């Protein structure tokens, strides 16, 4: 039945859209996508499968190659046929098979023939209705005719963006700008690498530029170089790439239809947008024959993190979840650059979560929008920034405050009012315990944790932390700045004219200490409705930047007991604050370049923040919908 569907589908397309100046084939040239709905022979139920059709017309317009692909619930079926048509004789041919055109008029075509239907040869009628952008094909069989299948297709935009090839001269010119900008402006370039080590990395990178490269390869190589700086805020930022770069590299049908977490080096399914049933908690072991261990190892080379001893934070960056999936998840961006996705098909090998049975199947790649829509159909609306902020009193003794981001500029409400109302409610309920959940929080506005400190502390706290701020240069080379943009015009103006001498002094370490944030400030005083009970802070390896700072000083000031895993970030310090967006002149790739470093005054280890109560993640927790960190905190509360 499957082969007959494909064959008849291919034949019908030949007659889809007549035009005065074009043959049928020329009119339907291009890509189509949609749904094939058919009645299953064994169950008599109607089944829907995703279908793609590509029509490649001959030079004379009288024949075409038609390629059909559809996703049959874990097996991708593909068929290629050569079709030709005889309008005068009212015949069309699918390879050597002949069919009759019963009637044809604008917008409607009827075909008749016979073919296999179940266990017998039966007559069929196919009715085609069409417009330039849509096509519906209804197949009926037997006598009297009854529904067998319906194909509903939409024309895919014919807009194609050719892949760019960069010459060696263009590549080397881009590299010179990248290298010069980093050496001139990045205050953390030698924080985790010596100058000699970085020069070796630059030299190695340059050896890759001895022949022309397509832009995908150069994008990957550049990401790998930036990753080796060991700075969380220095990377090829997908949000800041030029529109044409995003379209060529990211807006394709090559998105993996699963979201996942990485636990103990294993890729564990959390959500599934494919047509294949694979339960939450199942382990994906291979993709297109490539072991997931190799996939993870290679993708680690394009992650960004603070320091060299932060593997867990880098692994976290590879995961895809409900928030990152609709945006620019690292896996989605770089998997196609490392590993080809042939024919937009993924061959997946997995171990089922409950039975531990091994399975192997194929699923079609998706566009990002298609995957997002399917995820929302199955799992609900994509969580927004507002959804990352939640407060509830779970019982009379425990408040739960979820803060999945500190991106307050993206919230639809005033975060200070939100916190005030939350702590006011706990005071009114005489709540004894509070769980603050910042897992998956990668940072944002420093003001959030400063506000939280005032609610959690029973005494005044320092308004500044034991760190010093540094810049690389008080005045930048204008040849570099012409490639830079920023959301703070004052930064470019200051770097062009020179930072006022009163705002910096030589630090003796190749940097200049920045004095602009040395102004006196008032201590952080406890809020009137501050919390007087016991606080537990749930943390994990995603916590970096401002989230790392909150975790670090909540622990050091004894404001909360940390529960979970080691955070991202680094006690030695990191760069951030103000940024330049540097655009390479030929590729037009952008990378974020932080301008201010905050380094610890006292010597520190190259590490994140270790929790007071370590909780080991387990793969089976995902399949069992068991929140081990939250359960641990609740158990600790129960033991008080």
**8-state DSSP, 503:** G
Per-residue pLDDT, 1:
44
pLDDT of residue 519: 65
Average pLDDT (199-223) is: 98
Query: Could you read off the pLDDT of 611-628 as tens digits, one per residue?
Result: 999 999 999 999 999 999
Nearest to 269 by CA among 403, 361, 370: 361
CA dist 116 and 118 (Å) reads: 6
In a domain, 168, yes or no: no
> Domain holding 120: CATH number?
2.40.128.20
* CATH number of the domain residue 334 falls in: 2.30.42.10
Which domain covers residue 66, as residue numbers?
2-155
Mean pLDDT over 507-521 rounds to 85
Residues 19 and 147 placed together within one structural domain of the fold: yes
Does residue 7 register a pLDDT over 80?
no
Helix axes 330-338, 215-227, angle to 10 degrees: 120
DSSP 531-576: --SEEEEEE-TT--HHHHHHHHHHHHTTS-EEEES--SS-TTEEEE
- What does the buried/exposed string (b/e) look like for 352-388 if buried means 16 or more CB atoms within 10 Å of the residue's CB? bbeeeeebebbbbbbbbebbbebbeeeeeeeeebeeb
Domain boundary among 155, 177, 202: 155
- Mean of the pLDDT values across residues 559-566? 99
Q: Rounded mean pLDDT of 11-15?
A: 45
Residues 23 and 141 in one domain: yes
User: Contact, 560 vs 609, CB < 8 A?
Assistant: no
Pairwise CA distance, residues 270 & 281, whole Å? 6
Q: Do 374 and 419 fall into the same domain?
A: no
Residue 275 and residue 409 share a domain? no
Q: Do the domain assignments include residue 200?
A: no
Half-sphere exposure of 239 (CA within 13 A, CB side): 5
Cα–Cα–Cα angle for 334, 337, 339, rounded to 5 degrees: 105
Is residue 180 assigned to a domain?
no
Query: Number of structural domains, the chain?
Result: 3
Question: 443: phi > 0 → left, psi -120 to 50 → alpha, else beta; which?
Answer: left
φ/ψ (deg, to 5) at 626: -110, 120
CATH number, domain of 615, equals 3.90.226.10
pLDDT at 158: 62
- Of 44 and 457, the one with more pLDDT: 457
Per-residue pLDDT, 14:
44
User: Using a CB cutoff of 8 Å and minimum separation of 24, what contacts does 359-362 make?
Assistant: 359/278, 361/74, 361/75, 361/276, 361/278, 362/71, 362/74, 362/75, 362/76
> Between β-strands 283-287 and 266-272, what pairing exists: parallel, antiparallel or unpaired?
antiparallel
H-run or E-run covering 348: strand 345-351
Which segment of 72-81, 207-216, 475-484, 554-563 scores lowest on mean pLDDT?
72-81
**76 & 138 share domain:** yes
Q: Tell how strand 108-117 and strand 613-614 pair up.
A: unpaired
The 10s digit of each residue's pLDDT in 208-219 is 999 999 999 999
Q: Residues 439-471: pLDDT tens digits?
A: 999 999 999 999 999 999 999 999 888 999 999
Instruction: Please report the pLDDT score of residue 21 as a whole number.
Output: 60
Residue 222 lies in a domain: no
Q: Pick the last residue of a domain from 334, 359, 378.
A: 378
């Amino acid at each position: 039945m499957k082969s007959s569907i494909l064959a008849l589908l291919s034949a019908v397309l030949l007659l889809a859209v007549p035009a005065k100046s074009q043959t049928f084939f020329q009119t339907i040239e291009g890509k189509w996508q949609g749904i094939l709905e058919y009645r299953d022979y064994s169950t008599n139920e109607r089944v829907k499968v995703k279908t793609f059709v590509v029509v490649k017309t001959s030079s004379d317009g009288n024949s075409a190659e038609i390629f059909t692909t559809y996703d049959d619930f874990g097996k991708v079926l593909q068929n290629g046929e050569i079709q030709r048509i005889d309008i005068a004789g009212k015949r069309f041919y699918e390879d050597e098979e002949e069919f009759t055109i019963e009637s044809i008029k604008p917008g409607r075509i009827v075909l008749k023939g016979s073919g296999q239907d179940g266990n017998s040869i039966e007559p069929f009628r196919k009715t085609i209705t069409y417009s330039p952008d849509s096509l519906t094909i209804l197949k009926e069989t037997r006598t009297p005719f009854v529904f067998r299948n319906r194909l509903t297709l939409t024309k895919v935009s014919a807009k194609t963006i050719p892949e760019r090839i960069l010459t060696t001269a263009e590549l080397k010119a881009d590299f010179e700008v990248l290298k010069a900008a980093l050496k001139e402006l990045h205050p953390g370039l030698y924080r985790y690498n010596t100058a000699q080590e970085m020069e070796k990395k630059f030299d190695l990178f340059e050896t890759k530029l001895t022949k022309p490269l397509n832009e995908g390869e150069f994008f990957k190589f550049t990401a790998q170089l930036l990753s080796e700086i060991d700075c969380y805020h220095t990377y090829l930022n997908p949000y800041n790439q030029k529109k044409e770069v995003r379209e060529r590299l990211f807006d394709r049908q090559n998105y993996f239809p699963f979201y996942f977490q990485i636990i103990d080096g294993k890729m564990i399914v959390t959500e599934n947008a494919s047509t294949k049933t694979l339960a939450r908690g199942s382990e994906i072991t291979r993709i297109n024959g490539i072991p997931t261990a190799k996939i993870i190892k290679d993708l680690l080379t394009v992650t960004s993190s603070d320091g060299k001893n932060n593997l867990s934070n880098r692994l976290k960056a590879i995961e895809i979840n409900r928030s990152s999936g609709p945006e620019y998840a690292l896996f989605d961006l770089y998997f196609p650059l490392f590993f080809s996705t042939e024919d937009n098909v993924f061959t997946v090998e997995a171990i089922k979560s409950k039975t531990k049975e091994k399975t192997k199947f194929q699923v079609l790649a998706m566009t990002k929008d298609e995957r997002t829509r399917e995820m929302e159909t199955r799992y609900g609306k994509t969580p927004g920034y507002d959804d990352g902020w939640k407060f509830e009193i779970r019982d009379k003794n425990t408040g739960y405050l979820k803060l999945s981001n500190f991106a307050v500029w993206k919230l639809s409400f005033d975060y200070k009012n939100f916190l005030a109302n939350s702590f006011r409610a706990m005071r009114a309920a005489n709540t004894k315990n509070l769980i603050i959940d910042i897992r998956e929080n990668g940072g944002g506005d420093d003001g959030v944790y400063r506000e939280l400190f005032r609610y959690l502390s029973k005494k005044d706290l320092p308004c500044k932390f034991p760190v010093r701020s540094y810049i690389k240069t008080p005045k930048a080379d204008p040849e570099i700045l012409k490639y830079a943009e920023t959301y703070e015009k004052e930064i470019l103006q200051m770097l062009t004219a020179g930072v006022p001498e009163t705002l910096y002094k030589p630090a003796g370490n190749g940097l200049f200490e920045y004095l602009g944030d040395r102004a006196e400030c008032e201590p952080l005083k406890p809020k009137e409705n501050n919390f007087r009970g016991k606080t537990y802070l749930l943390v994990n390896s995603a916590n970096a930047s401002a989230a790392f700072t909150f975790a670090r000083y909540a622990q050091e000031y004894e404001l909360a007991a940390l529960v979970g895993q080691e955070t991202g970030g680094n006690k030695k310090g990191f760069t951030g604050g103000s940024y330049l967006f540097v655009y390479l002149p030929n590729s037009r790739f952008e990378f974020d370049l932080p301008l201010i470093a905050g380094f610890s005054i006292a010597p520190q280890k190259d590490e994140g923040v270790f929790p007071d109560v370590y909780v080991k993640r387990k793969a089976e927790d995902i399949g069992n919908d068991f929140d081990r960190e939250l359960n641990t905190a609740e158990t600790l509360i129960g033991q008080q």
